[in-house]
Structure formats: structure tokens, C-alpha cells
Amino acid sequence: MTGQTRTIVALVALVLVLVAAAAAALLVGAAETTSAIITEIRAPRIALTLIVGAGLGLSGALLQGTLRNPLADPGIIGVSASAALGAVVAVALGAAYSSWLAAIGATVAGIAGMALVLWIARSASGRTEVVTVVLGGVAVTAFMAAVLSIVITVSEAAGARSVTFWTTGSLALATWPGVWSTLPFLILATILAIVVARDLDVLALGDRAAWAAGIDVERTRVFALGAAVLAVSAGVAVVGVIAFVGLVVPHAVRMLIGPRHGGLLIGSALAGALLLLVSDTIARTAASPVEVPLGVITAVIGAPVFILLLRRTRAAQGGWA
């Protein structure tokens, strides 16, 4: 089986499994299942789960490819926390929750958070080290989370909700307006990702090789990082911060279909949607009628993988002095 055939087969399999999982999720839940419950509660929740999960998977693949950093993830390097803060500030200033207002605020703040992490991580020689990106992201995440708690505490806006919602994530309040406000950002991010997919394959060989091949490295990075922020920020605005999906999914897909970004980006989006759908189904049914925070489920899955990747990356680089 050729690499291209394997990629097509894997993507088709992911689509089929995703459709089956979504259909099953519609029927899993409380014993009483009416048409109103399905169309007004479960359907928008599942639709939003697929959009947000796809955005997280796509964002993780873009970040790892652009930064050439196997530990890159929107939740780890500060993008998600920055987006959450931007959404809450936008809602607080607007004095009422609007999914569009929150999405725009989250995107602007996500871009700012990404820029801050890259500025912190860049050394005097102009290089961006793997470990400094992670440490810079941890610092930015902690700072943004602290400011987020303060803003929520002093805000009287009903849409600000609670610290728990924004820091651990939940799809319990999913609505159709939230779906429609998030979907355009994912579509735009996907288009940008497709545009830069081939350039990212060459960029993986190093900046010099990319320049020699005639690729505008800076333009490619701007497009790819912009797509990564777009893919995740609007989702954070409506469901809060969900960590580790963007870290785990690209590695799993890479093992399945290989490193070429044409298939990797689409596969990561599909696998991210599937992982989040399964995680959300577990979150809302495992301890019913109590709902487990979605971020807790994804952290249980992702944290051990992150530790494993961290140790493997350190060993590959001969340690970090």
C-alpha cells in the first residue's frame, strides 16, 4: 500500500468512525429522549464538540509543524488561556454574553498570547528553543489564568459565568448560536492550513532548506500560526479551555498516516473531533446526573502522553542544560 493510499484509507476510516460516534452520542444520555432534547440540546452540543475538537487537533498539528516542536499545543503554550481571557474581557465590557463578541475577543487575545510566548522563547541568537517555548507557555498560561480569575471575580456580566467553566471547559451550555459563531473561524483556519500544507513539509527540513526551495518562511509561519489561533480561539470562547487534545492527536495521526501535512492536518482535525466527542460523552454520562468537567477527561488522557513526549524530546536532544 502506497503512502497516499494509506492516507486516503485512514481519512475515510476516521470519517466513518466519527459519523458512527456522533450518531451514537445522540442517543446516549438520559432515559427520556424526545425530539426536542435531540434537536435543541444534544445536536448543538455534538455539533459544537466536533467543531471545537477539529479546531484543537488542527491547531496542534499546525503549531507542531510550524515551530518544529513536538510539545506544542494551544493549551500548553498559552494560546488557550489567552483566548479565554480575551473572551471574558470582551463579555465583561459588553455587559452581556454574545458568542460572536466572545469569539472575536478570544481570537485577538490568542494572537497576542502567541506573539508573547514566541517573544519570550526567542534567544539572543534568534533561535527558538523547544524548552523555552514550553516554559514561556507555562508562564503565560499561569499569568493569563490569574488575570482571568480576577476579571471573573470583579465582573458583573452574566456571560462571564465561572472560573471553573473557563479553566476546565464544558459543553453543557452549547447552543446553535455558539455553533454558528465558531464554524466560520474553523473554515477559515482550514483554508489557511491547506494553503501552507506543502510549505510546512519543506519547512520541516529547516529554514535554510525552505529558503533554498523558494519558500517565504516568514509568510508561511504567519499564515500557519494565524490558522492555529483561529482554529482554537473561537472554540475557547464558547466552551472554555480544553487541554492536551492538540498535543496528543497530531502524534497519533502522524503514526497512522505519516508526517506529510496534506493528510496530517485533515487527519488531526478529524481525530481531534473524535477524541473530544468520546471525551464529552464520557464526561456527561460517567457520573450522571452530575457532569464531569470535560477538561478533566482530556487531562487524564493527555497528561501522561505529555510527560512521555517531554522525556523523549529531552533524550533526543541530549538533555537541556
User: Which ranges of the chain would DSSP assign to H, the alpha helix?
Assistant: 3-27, 35-37, 43-67, 79-94, 99-121, 130-154, 163-168, 176-203, 207-212, 217-239, 245-257, 261-285, 294-316
Query: Can you read off the three cell numbers belonging to residue 111?
Result: 494572537
Q: What is the DSSP string of 236-292?
A: HHHH----SHHHHHHHHHHHHH-S-HHHHHHHHHHHHHHHHHHHHHHHHHTTTTSPP
**How much is the pLDDT for 228?**
93
Instruction: Return the residue matching grid coordinates 481570537.
Output: 107
- Phi and psi at residue 298, in whole multiples of 5°? -65, -30
**How much is the pLDDT for 316?**
62
Domain 44-314: give its CATH code: 1.10.3470.10
**How much is the pLDDT for 28?**
77
**How much is the pLDDT for 5?**
85
Q: What is the pLDDT of residues 221-252, one digit of tens each?
A: 889 989 999 999 989 988 888 888 998 899 98
**How much is the pLDDT for 160?**
59
Q: How many angstroms separate the CA atoms of 295 and 67, rounded?
A: 25
Q: What is the pLDDT of residues 173-222, one digit of tens each?
A: 888 998 999 999 999 999 999 999 999 999 888 888 888 888 888 888 88
The conformation of residue 29, written as its DSSP 8-state character, comes to S
The conformation of residue 158, written as its DSSP 8-state character, comes to G
Residues of the chain where predicted confidence (pLDDT) is lower than 70: 1, 29-33, 95-97, 123-130, 156-166, 313-321
Q: How many angstroms separate the CA atoms of 80 and 114, rounded?
A: 9
**How much is the pLDDT for 188?**
96
Q: Considering only CA atoms, which of 237, 236, 238 is closest in space to residue 246?
A: 236
- Rounded to the nearest 10 degrees, the angle between the axes of helix 261-285 and helix 176-203 is 140
**How much is the pLDDT for 134?**
79
Query: Can you read off the three cell numbers belonging to residue 191?
Result: 483554508
**How much is the pLDDT for 124?**
53
Q: How many angstroms separate the CA atoms of 36 and 181, rounded?
A: 22
Instruction: Return the residue matching grid coordinates 491547506.
Output: 194
Q: How many angstroms separate the CA atoms of 28 and 278, rounded?
A: 11
